[in-house]
Amino acid sequence: MSFEDDSDYKNKDELKISDRSDGTDHPVSDNDLESSFRDGMHETDSRLNDDTKSSEEYTEDSVLSSTSDHLSSSEIPIKNTVNENAPGCSNKGGRIKCLSVILALLIVIGASLAIIFYSLDGGIYSGRDKVGVIYVQGTMVTGNVPSGMGVAASEEISESLQRATADDSVKAIVLRINSPGGSPAASEEIVREISKVQDKGIPVVVSMGDSAASAAYYISASTDYIMANPSTVTGAIGVMWVFQDLSSFYEDEGIDFHVAKSGEFKDMGVPWRELTDAEKEYADRVVMELFDHFVDEVAHGRDMSRSEVKDLADGRIYTGHAAKELGLIDDFGNLYDAIEKAAELGGIENDYQVVYINRPTLSRLLFGSENQQHVNELEFADTMAFDPMEESRFGKLIA
């Protein structure tokens, strides 16, 4: 059906509708008109909604198409930065894998720390025969400082020797020495402990590294066998006492000192004045006394006459090659050769275990040995209680 044009509607009291199916016209009442109007409005609204949806779809599709065409025409590369198939921790399976990886890393880290702190920390365990290795590294001093700190402390080394001999399965000991020498008192303490080990029937073998000179050679001479490399620096048999004279400096600075002392030699070696003739003579006597003892110990340890040793003891160093020719060492070899020799001297016939008693480890460097702090406190208190100038007054007495 169709409405006739508005001009007819305005001029007529009745509205006629043409029925296209039979071509006849019939009048329409107001109720029929209102019903038809409502139906028409509903149909119009439906069409408008459909057109709006189509328009939105068309707009979105056209924009995407236009953008794609623009990017293609501009030849701008588009990289997909999200890999939907990549493994991750977002899903259940991925979370389990991530947790497994984290747990494995924690186990590896924990095991590594355990090895660093404990396994290599010089523990001795009961079992088959063993060869103990003790490191003597750095300048020799008295006191208790962990190995690896640049000094060879007499108490730390003596304690290591005691720990080694406390186990009956330790049949021999190797001293791995890499030291230029140091304190005569420190070397004396170590030699005394070595003799205790030998009294128990346990052989001690020395393996020299870069150097084993002066006081380090002093302790080497007391052992049962010495091995070195041809280029090792050793010897330097002798003693020196070093004093520092800063008197001219203090004089230039206008600094004066008043010293109250109980005896003539009490302030011997202070840096603000030079030694007197009597003090120089006294220092020479002390040095020669220590030197004579040094020579005697080397002669006894190396089975040489005193005169033979004294001829070599002018303070010079010797290479390992020269030392072997002079009888100051027994043979050439590295640490592992020395370990084999120690096992042989210890009567070990079967397989044996090598234990490193005081090898430098992270735990020893961080925490030291058990009584290190206590010993250092006692030494400091003792020095301060008797003479605050003691160290500078004595100068450096070196073997």
> In the predicted model, is pLDDT for residue 81 greater than 80?
no
Catalytic amino acids? 214, 266
Q: Is 45 contained in some domain?
A: no
> Same domain, yes or no, for 160 and 307?
yes
> Same domain, yes or no, for 36 and 150?
no
> In the predicted model, is pLDDT for residue 274 greater than 60?
yes
The answer to whether the beta carbons of residues 345 and 351 sit under 8 Å apart is: no
> Same domain, yes or no, for 295 and 192?
yes
Q: Is 230 contained in some domain?
A: yes
> Same domain, yes or no, for 144 and 9?
no
> Same domain, yes or no, for 32 and 129?
no
Question: CB under 8 Å to 138, separation ≥6 — which residues?
Answer: 149, 150, 151, 152, 178, 179
pLDDT at 172: 98
pLDDT at 32: 57
Number of folded domains in the chain? 2
> In the predicted model, is pLDDT for residue 373 greater than 60?
no
Average pLDDT value for the chain = 77
Q: Is 47 contained in some domain?
A: no
Q: Is 102 contained in some domain?
A: no
Q: Could you tell me the residue range of the domain that residue 194 belongs to?
A: 122-398
Prediction pTM value? 0.63
> In the predicted model, is pLDDT for residue 122 greater than 50?
no
> Same domain, yes or no, for 253 and 359?
yes
Q: Which helix (H) or strand (E) holds 44?
A: helix 30-74
Q: Which of 26-40, 116-130, 302-316, 365-379 shows the highest mean pLDDT?
A: 302-316
Can you give the CATH number for the domain in which 361 is found? 3.90.226.10
**3-class secondary structure, 134:** strand
Q: What single letter denotes the amino acid at residue 345? A: L
Q: Is 105 contained in some domain?
A: no
> Same domain, yes or no, for 11 and 126?
no
**Mean pLDDT across the stretch 376-391?**
33
Nearest in space to 298 (alpha carbons), one of 346, 339, 239, 345: 239
DSSP 27: E
> In the predicted model, is pLDDT for residue 248 greater than 60?
yes
Share of the chain above pLDDT 70, in %: 61
Q: Is 276 contained in some domain?
A: yes
DSSP 349: -
> In the predicted model, is pLDDT for residue 11 greater than 70?
no
Q: What single letter denotes the amino acid at residue 212? A: A
Q: What is the 3-state secondary structure (H, E, C) of 270-293?
A: CCCCCCCHHHHHHHHHHHHHHHHH
> Same domain, yes or no, for 36 and 126?
no
**Alpha helices by DSSP H, 124-276:** 154-165, 184-199, 215-221, 247-253
Q: Is 318 contained in some domain?
A: yes
Q: Is 26 contained in some domain?
A: yes
Strands (E), the chain: 15-18, 25-28, 130-137, 139-141, 151-153, 170-179, 204-213, 225-228, 233-235, 240-242, 317-319, 331-332, 353-356, 396-398
pLDDT in tens, 190-219: 999 999 999 999 999 999 999 999 999 999
Please give the torsion angle defined by the CA atoms of residues 67, 68, 74 and 79, in that order, rounded to the nearest 10 degrees.
110
